[in-house]
Amino acid sequence: MDVPPLHPGPFSDELLVLQADHRSAYVWEGELLNQTLRARRVDDLCDFMRGRDFHPRVVQRLRDTSFYRIFQIGQLQLDWSLITALIERWRPDTHTFHLSIGEATITL
């Protein structure tokens, strides 16, 4: 039985509205075969997504999986001093933070 060759690109651009601008278009066309690709930084991703309209089916899928709120929140500013202070107070033997008010743990 002959197996037809696998098409490397999308069959339909209906949901891939940004496909023409995406680096995968160059990969599928064979233009980046010798280039090493790197992951985008979070800052780049937030800048990329800001101001873009998502296809309604994508938005609905994100809502169904409860991930749409992440896109609404956007980029968060991290408080490195707070993170460092919490790391210093973490006790791996009890899986708790030892604070001045007593022990505390993270709950869902």
Structure tokens at 77: 């500013």
pLDDT band at 26 (very low <50, low <70, confident <90, very high): confident
Percent share of the chain, pLDDT over 90: 2
**What local confidence, expressed as pLDDT, does residue 67 receive?**
84
- When pLDDT is averaged across residues 15-25 and rounded to a whole number, the result is 71
pLDDT band at 43 (very low <50, low <70, confident <90, very high): low
**What local confidence, expressed as pLDDT, does residue 39 receive?**
65
What type of residue is 33?
L
- When pLDDT is averaged across residues 40-59 and rounded to a whole number, the result is 75
Q: Are 52 and 17 in contact (CB under 8 A)?
A: no
Tell me: the pLDDT tens digits for 62-93?
Answer: 889 988 887 777 767 778 888 888 888 998 88
**Residue of 47, 65, 66, 63 whose CA lies nearest to 55:** 63
- When pLDDT is averaged across residues 8-30 and rounded to a whole number, the result is 69
